Each structure stands twice: as C-alpha cells, then as structure tokens.
A and B are shown apart, each in its own frame.
Chain A
Amino acid sequence: MLAQDFLRYTVKSVSSQRLRSFLTATGIAVGIGAVVLLTSLGEGLQHFVLAEFTQFGTNLISVNPGKVTTHGISGALISNVRPLTIEDAQTLKNIPQIIDTVSVLQGNAAIESSGRQRRTTIYGVDASAARVWRFEIAAGRFLPNDPPRAARSFVVLGSKVRQELFGSSQALGARVRIGGELFRVIGSMESKGQLLGFDLDDSVYIPTSKAMALFNRDSLMEINLLHTAGSSSTSVAEQVKKVLIARHGSEDFSITTQEKMLEVLGGVLGTLTFAVGAIGGISLLVGGVGILTIMSIAVNERTGEIGLLRAMGVERSQILALFLGEAVVLAAIGGLAGLVLGVGGSWLFSLLIPALPAHTSWSYAAAAELLAVVVGLIAGVLPARRAAGQHPVEALRAE
C-alpha cells in the first residue's frame, strides 16, 4: 500500500463520520488548546514579571527591619529589634562590592501648591536613588547629594503629580507644601507606569531625613543596596549580614536579594504553569479516552470491512496500522485545532491585557502536536489490536 493511499484511506474513514470525528477531536483540541494557551501565557507571564522586577535595575539587595522566620515576620512587634538607620546605610556603603545605598521611608501625605492639593505617596530617599533605581529625569535634576542628616528641603515630582499640580505651567523652582512644610521643586520624573497595580507616577521624592521628620519616625523602612555586576549577590548579602549583626548585636533584620526574589516568583509561576499544564493533561486524557471509545465503536461497526480486507490479502499488522493511523489522524486533527485555539486564545488575551504579552514558542507548539499524536497512538492501540486480532471468517460473518 502506497503511503499516500494509506493516508487517504484513514482520512476518508475519519471524514466519513464527520460529526463523530469532530466531537472526538474536540476533546483533544481543548486539551492541546489549554496546554498551548497556558504555556504561551505562562511564558509571557514569566517574561512580563521578569521585566517588571528588573526595571529598577538589577544587582539589588534590600534590607528590612525584623527577621523573617518560617513563622512569619516577628520583628515589628518585638521591642528588642533595633531600627534600621541612615547610619546603618552609611556603614554598608563601605563594603567594597556595594556601589551605593538608598535609605527608604515611605508614607502618604497631602502635597499642595498654589491652591491645588493632592494626596500622594511620599518617598524619603537619598540622592543615590536615581542611579540605583535607574530613574529617568524629565526636567531639572534629582535630589542633590546633601549630607544625609542635613539635607535641604527639595522635592522631585512624579509625572502624574507634576501634571495634577502644575498642568502645563512651570514646576521647576516652585514651592510646594508637604504636610505643612515647604519644599522647593528641583526636578520631575519621566513616566514610569505601574508596578503590580501601584502607580509609580503618583509619587514624590524627598530626602530621607525630611521624610523621617514628616512622618515622625526615627527608623527606615528599607535599605536598598546596589552591588557591582560581577559580584555574587549571596556573598554580598553575607557581608551585609555580618556588618549589621556587628552593629545591632543580633540578626534583627532580613535581607532579600533580587535574585532570590525572582527565584521565588519563578517558583510560583512554575507551579502555576504546572497546575495549568495538569488541567491540559487531564483534558488530553479525556480526549484520549474519547478516541479509544470512538475507535472501539468503529472497530465494532466495521468488523465486516476488516474481514473483507483480510480476505483481500491484508495482513494483521496492516489492519493494526490502518486503525492506529485513524486514531492518530483524529488526534492530529484535534491537535491542530487545539494549536489554533491556543494561539488564537493567547492572541486575544494579549489584546485584552496588553501588559501581559503572550508568547507561543514554535518548539512548544510542535511538542503539543507531537503530544496529541502520542495520545492518539496510545488511545488507538487497544482498538487497533482488537481489529487486527479478528478471525477473518468471524469478521465476515459479522455483517
């Protein structure tokens, strides 16, 4: 039997039962579609999260007060935790691999200028923040490098705040009032967009010591560290730990490297992708059972045909191949439909949520189609073997 005739015969058998084949292939299509969609989105999600979390630069380490244990954060409530201070940050700057540090304090307050007012997020930071977090300045400059405890009252506006307070008029040099104290606008930022729902443009930046006074706090919320590209984040974290333990007397802080954070996120995403893959897998299993059922029915209905083929000199192995071929054709058609569903679905997703780019890799698509074929093969084995095992005389009598 020529290969093209084999293919035509199997395709003809499948297409002669249009509705039945369609329903059976649908099972596989849904399974493959789910797998493709979810791997597309999963990969897109991974790209997306990675981009989001590295937009403030890489090689970052953050230090927070309180020790994160497996039982949660204990530090905040226990009095013997020493607060993180500007001096801690200054000392950490002495570690050779550390390029710069940012002492961070954050809160909400009203900012007003010539009658207009807006409640916004206030960040107390150092001059170094511009470099560590890769800030883009639209106009003016970022905070000057004043002595930390004696910084002047300058403010840098996020793009949205600048727009809300000043509109098209000149903001640079203007005086604004934050929590009753006067600040002079020294610069404004390029738009940065959102990070996980936080509007980064709806914020302003003032020197750390001013923020401490404003919010009446004597400790920092976080110290951000930028280390050299060549150094390992774990060994830098180790040194930071040593320095801080020496200063605080105990480990009453926690250190998060960006690498670690991405690892954890990656793990979460991986689990998500796995779960979704499992759902696809179950659909495929159901699709496979569908093929098994429909092929078993086909073998029953076509027993006479099997007898006829045997009488015409077709061997058992060829009968096996014919019915396996039909199962594979069914599954492959379902798989192709699933590819279309999955790619189309993820395209639709990326239309609806532009920030979440869908990305179908061809290797995944090919693997998914291969998977469908394998499901078809496995599902086809039992019915095909039953077809091949028929005694020709019995089979001919069946009609």
Chain B
Amino acid sequence: MTLPSSAIAIRGLCKSYGKAEVLHDIDLEIARGATTCLIGPSGSGKSTLLRCIAFLEEATRGTILINGQPLGFEEQPDGKRVRVPAHQIRRVRSGIGMVFQQFNLWPHMTALGNVTEALVTVNGLSRAEAEARGMAQLRRVGLEARARHYPSELSGGQQQRVAIARALALEPKILLFDEPTASLDPELTGEVLNVMRDLGADGMTMVVVTHEIGFAATVGRRIVFLDHGRVLLNGTPGELFAAPRHPRLTQFLETYLDRGAAMLLKPA
C-alpha cells in the first residue's frame, strides 16, 4: 500500500458549539514530513481545528483522514457519515501526539514516569524496557539528567520538553502543538522552539498553532492563516508573507511585531 501524499486530509470540516459554528467547511491537506504552522487572530478556531485532529473534539460534519485512515468518522459511498469502531479510533489516534500550551504533565509522576506511562499502561512494555525507551526520548529533548525529577521541580521550558518527550514515546507519525511556548517566559521559549526545530529537521510531520511568527516564517514549510473559522490563506512563508500581502494578514501581523513579525513587515 502506498501512503497518500498528505499526512492529514481534512474535508468539509465543520464544528459547532451549540448553535454557534466556529469552523466552517475546512478543506486542508497537511504535507507529510514537514512543519505546518497554523496562525490567525484569537478566536479564529486554531485550537478547535487542532483539537479536532487530535480527536479531543468531535467535528460536527466532514471527515479527517490520517495517512488515509478515517479518524472517528467515515464517509460512506452514499455520502452518509458514520462513526468508525472504537478500536480503530484508538489505533488511528495512536499515530498522533499532542503537546499542549499548559504542558499538562501529571504531577504525581517523575519526568520519566510521564514519558513511560503509556508504554507500560497501554503498550504493556516491561518497566525496564519502557524506561530505556523513555530515557532515549528524554535524551532527544536534552533532559536525561532530569529524568527523576517531578514536574514541580522543573522549569516551564523543561516541563514542556518533557511533554514533547511524552508525546514522542509512542513514536507517533504526527505531532500537534497548541501554542507550545505561549505560557513560557520569553527566555525559555528558545529551548522549546529548538527542540521543535530539531524534530522538524528529522522529518517529523508537525502541525503547530503558534503566535511565534518568527518561528512560523523560518521553520514552517507551509503557513495556514485561519480567520473567523475559515482557511483564508494557505501557502509557503514566501508566498504568504511577501508583498503583495493579503490585507487581513498584514493587519494580523501588525499586532505581532514583538514576536518576530516586524522583520516580515519591514520594507525590503
């Protein structure tokens, strides 16, 4: 079986909370082995879209294919949308890792415990084997020496790197990040962005919701600009950020001058 060219294929995705529709008919292909950055004004639906891909939210309409496999819902030939069996949902989901703005480490487990939890509890590995794998992931994010520390004993940047190691432990094909540096002090964002840069260079498929415009412009292979629950722009950084620029994007960038947008806006 040859893999479809896109890691994630989103077709006609709509999401409503009660009567309010917050995502309108999203069609989006996420390229394999590349970093896609999702940017847009607050409330434009970035988190909601990412959470739909992580299956933390169930879309109201439309389908998502992960490497060609339906996530949660499947469109039948007659156009009817049906839920796929639970075990299949879990299998498809296991190929996706998620990193949150608030880290969400489990406070009663060490860094290594957080990373190995799923390996032991879900995959049934022995503790020794899980710890060997867990240490390898912690090494990857530069935190081998902190393995036995509890989250409360780690800085925000270190906690987020542990969270990345935790997401990597199950060896997912796709990593999702929702504003991974937004709750970090400015001097700590660099260490997290560097880890993400390395992952991108290793060929990981990543979807990153971020306000770090500088990061998006330099690491993002594709930029998706969301506005009012729609994909307004989708292209390479060169295409999107170079003049002539879409007026909504310019307006958006002007509010992020301190996050690296200044260099994109300055006249050449």
* A and B part of one assembly: no
